[in-house]
Amino acid sequence: MISKLFLHRTTRGFVASIALLFLSMDWATAQDTANKQSPQWISLFNGKDLEGWTPKIRYHDLGDNFENTFRVEDGLLKVGYAGYSEFNETFGHLFYKDSFSHYRIRVEYRFVGEQVKGGPGWALRNSGIMIHGERPETIAKDQDFPASIEVQLLGGDGKNPRTTSNLCTPGTNVVMGGKLILAHCTSSNSKTFHGDQWVTAEVEVKGSEYVRHFVNGELVLEYNQPQLDERDAHAKELIEKAGSKLLASGSISLQSESHPVEFRKVELLDLSK
């Protein structure tokens, strides 16, 4: 004869198991819903080739990857100059196929090796992420930089303080603290990163509302109202075509400025939805 105590314990255990099952199902459903609703990071670089990217190197036609400047090796997107005898101001940019407005872009980068012969002194351990840029099709063959907002990536020289994720403004201006900034470059308050260490740079872009720079998760610079510079002849042409000088969206590109640099991640979080 089964005791009442045994029946009570069995029933209680069964009820608890059923309750736990439903709780697990509810949690899984909630997680699935959250995953579907939350925006997801997407990789702009597939780790295998330059699919989705197009080079534009100064003095060369759009799509001409002069001397294999941009390439993929060992799962890394590399900017190198092994085929160059001298740099000759052949500044280059690797453009992603789509334009964006509201997003976060995150790259992991490091500088390696030696600067190519003829590279300018200021370009030592220097690269950048160009945001809110013009389309590569509008860039002249001899144009050095696209009209854009540059998130300047700098490596330390081994001795002196040198911030990274600074702001540079080829053909553009921004507003900071309520004041229009006309200086070409503005330093962030980041740390200095000497040597070949990997650094994570992240940029939060909200149309023309604001732009924020982060280094290894720390906010280092913030500004708003990115806009084309009416003092620049090419930018003025772009203003006339667009009907506005404010930059609410644009292309994304990575720079080649004479010092080898590697990217192991290029990721984007679309915030437009």
Q: Which of 39-48, 86-95, 116-125 has the lowest mean pLDDT?
A: 39-48
Residues 6+ apart with CB under 8 A from 52: 44, 46, 96, 97
Q: Give the CA distances from residue 165 to residues 133, 152, 157, in Å, rounded to whole numbers and listed in that order.
A: 17, 5, 16
**pLDDT digits over 62-105, tens only?**
999 999 999 999 999 999 999 999 999 999 999 999 999 999 99
Model confidence band, residue 22 (pLDDT cutoffs 50, 70, 90): very low
CB-CB neighbours of 235 under 10 Å: 21
Mean pLDDT value across residues 102-111: 98
Distance between CA atoms of residues 104 and 131, nearest Å = 11
Q: Which residue carries 């990789």 as its tokens?
A: 43
Distance between CA atoms of residues 133 and 253, nearest Å = 8
pLDDT given at position 273: 80
**pLDDT digits over 166-218, tens only?**
999 999 999 999 999 999 999 999 999 999 999 999 999 999 999 999 999 99
Residues 6+ apart with CB under 8 A from 9: none
Rounded to the nearest integer, the mean pLDDT of the chain is 91
CB-CB neighbours of 238 under 10 Å: 20
